[in-house]
Amino acid sequence: MVKAEAVHKSFGRLEVLSGIDLEVQPKEVMCVIGPSGSGKSTFLRCINHLEKIDAGRLSVDGELVGYRQRGDKLYELPDREVCQKRSEIGMVFQHFNLFPHMTALENLIEAPIRVKKASRSTAVAYARALLERVGLADKTNVYPNQLSGGQQQRVAIARALAMNPKLMLFDEPTSALDPELVGEVLDVMRRLAADGMTMIVVTHEMGFAREVGDTLVFMDGGVIVESGKPREVLANPRQERTRSFLSKVL
Amino acid sequence: MTEIAAGSPAPAPQAGRRPEAIKAIPVRHPWRWLSAVLVLAVAADAVYTLVTAPNMHWGVVGTFLFQRLIREGILLTLELTVLAMAIGIILGVILAVMRLSTNPVVSWLSWFYIWFFRGTPVLVQIFFWFNLALVLPHIGVGIPGGPLLFGVSTNVLITPLMAAVFGLGFNEAAYMAEIVRAGIISVEHGQTEAAQALGMTRLQVMQRIVLPQAMKVILPPTGNETISMLKTTSLAFVATVPELFTRAQQIASFNFYVIELLVVISIWYLVMTSILTIGQYYLERYFARGVQRELPMTPLQRFRRMLFTFRAPQAPLT
């Protein structure tokens, strides 16, 4: 589903990604952990072209992100095609980023109507079903700031799902939540994984990674230090760097 | 809850029971009352002096307040304000979006427009449009350096009214562009990212996500600009547009009641700006939805509260 080969990315002189190689299979749940500044969020943002990579190859579903290859030349994709590609990838942010001037339902139907040109009635029906699925059927007409953090994040997940994405990216989805609200969001994600969604989750929730993740990736300094089955990596890290990180967070 | 008499000692909270709501004697503000009396006294004196001025003909004010020429002037002033602000707002939004465009040509064009129209006096601009026929007798489409394919006389196209509307509107657009730009920048970048991640195009993001949220920053100064515009329309005087100020001048040139007529139009300007102020308030309330948990009080609610408590209004909960 996602394939990265020697992906590099710099902001000015600061190199944030120094050669990332990984592959995510369909229906796989990959959890990415690592200290802040290790490049894990940046990598996630590169996948749906919110950031442009400087070197290497990054592809989703066999198609390069942001470029088209013809012969041995790369052509930048025009905006419209970048948007089309993004619409197939759902993203959930640390700070939810719900649209505050729209109700929960309006947040969900906006993109299906504008981007996918779905009819309003279809979009509304699907949005209601999704809100029910995340346990917020009663919050349809409520504005985001009347919801708790956990509820907002569940609406944000539903908003991403409303586009029927083939891949979901989660950027520290529970980091901005009160501890007692983390569980409800993880529950939604757990069910999503069980339904067979391909997911890349940047997280600090080791319990979730161990239980739900198929693969665990530990990043530091813009490279992948270690990856493998979550249980093995968490129990027996092979690298010294992984060991010292885990000893601090577990 | 049982009522207790004011001033009687409040009973100590008992375990398991909700204690009575606190009823304390509010802090007294003697200086507020004193300053209010002082201000009223000075104001009363000023009004008295003006009302009893020996050469002030209040009867004239009354006669001309609803006179036909004045009424027509009011309509024209409103028309000028609406047209100029319409041009200003529409063009201003376009210029602001252009200014933030990734296309350097478009962005630079917007910068140049703002530089030019903000950098020359609006009076000069109105005069410019009014006198354009002096250098360009015909306006139309043609081949540069060749014949005019289609054109009309400049004096037909740019009437005095249009000269004033163009002058005021194009100048206003430059200011509105900066106001709108400030509003756009004030919207958190995460909003744009979330919308982009959903596959929305730049234009959709701007239209549906960013601009509606920018409104709460854009509106107050826009109301300000509208009120300012209402009064600036008096500059249309130089383009011989018979709006309110021009009418007052014309009438005064016949009957020499200069101050009286200025009082008449000042009353009307105040009435109009007051109405605009109220309209602005309700518009701001509308765009505050989803931002504040409780909508701010309406002026009427606030006035009642002020009358009955004479305290500083409390900030609404956010």
The verdict on A98 touching B (C-beta cutoff 8 Å) is: yes
With a cut of 60, say whether residue B293 has pLDDT above it: no
Give the pLDDT score at A19: 92
pLDDT at B283: 84
> Is A146 in Cβ contact with B198 (below 8 Å)?
no
Tell me the pLDDT tens digit for each residue of A95-148.
999 999 999 999 999 999 999 999 999 999 999 999 999 999 999 999 999 999
Which candidate from A80, A98, A100 shows the least CB-CB separation from B291?
A100
A131: contact with B, CB 8 A cutoff: no
Task: For chain A, give the percent of residues with pLDDT over 70.
Answer: 100
Digit-coded pLDDT (tens) for B14-28: 667 888 888 888 888
Chains A–B, number of C-beta pairs less than 8 Å apart: 76
In this prediction, residue B151 carries a pLDDT of 76
Q: What is the pTM of this model?
A: 0.81
Residues of B in contact with A84 (CB under 8 A): 199
CB proximity B201 to A under 8 Å: yes
- Residue A100 contacts B, CB cutoff 8 Å: yes
* Mean pLDDT rounded to a whole number for chain B: 87
What share of chain B has pLDDT > 70, as a percent? 88
DSSP states of chain B as a string? -----TTSPPPPPPTTSPPPPP--PPPP-HHHHHHHHHHHHHHHHHHHHHHT-TT--HHHHHHHHT-HHHHHHHHHHHHHHHHHHHHHHHHHHHHHHHHT-S-HHHHHHHHHHHHHHHHS-HHHHHHHHHTGGGT-SEEEEE-TTS-EEEEEEHHHHS-HHHHHHHHHHHHHHHHHHHHHHHHHHHS-HHHHHHHHHTT--HHHIIIIIIHHHHHHHHHHHHHHHHHHHHHHGGGGGGGT---HHHHHHHHHHHH--HHHHHHHHHHHHHHHHHHHHHHHHHHHHHHTTTTSSSPPPPHHHHHHHHHHH-SPPPPPP-
Mean predicted confidence (pLDDT) in A217-228:
93
CB contact under 8 Å between A114 and B200, yes or no, is: yes
What whole-number percentage of chain A has pLDDT above 90?
91
Among A114, A146, A164, A170, the strongest candidate for a mutation testing the B interface, having the largest count of B CBs within 10 A, is A114
Task: Confirm or reject contact between A160 and chain B (CB < 8 A).
Answer: yes
At residue B23, the pLDDT reads 87
When CB atoms are compared, the residue of A48, A79, A146 closest to B201 is A79
Is A114 close to B213, i.e. CB distance below 8 A? no
pLDDT at B300: 74
For residue B233, pLDDT over 70 is answered with: yes
Interface test with B, best of A94, A97, A169 (most B CBs within 10 A): A97
Q: Which residues of chain A have a CB within 8 Å of the CB of B193?
A: 50, 93, 97
**How confident is the model at residue A248, as a pLDDT?**
87
- How far is A233 from chain B, CA to nearest CA, in Å? 31
The residue ranking higher by pLDDT, B168 or B26, is B168
Give the residue on B whose Cα is nearest the Cα of A86.
Answer: B199
Q: Does A142 touch chain B (CB under 8 A)?
A: no
Per-residue model confidence as pLDDT tens digits over B75-133: 999 999 999 999 999 999 999 999 998 899 999 999 999 999 999 999 999 999 999 88
Give the mean pLDDT of A169-183.
93
Q: Residue B309: pLDDT above 70?
A: no
pLDDT mean over B136-148: 77
Q: Kindly list the residues from chain B whose CB atom is less than 8 angstroms away from the CB atom of residue A89.
A: 197
More confident residue, B12 or B111: B111
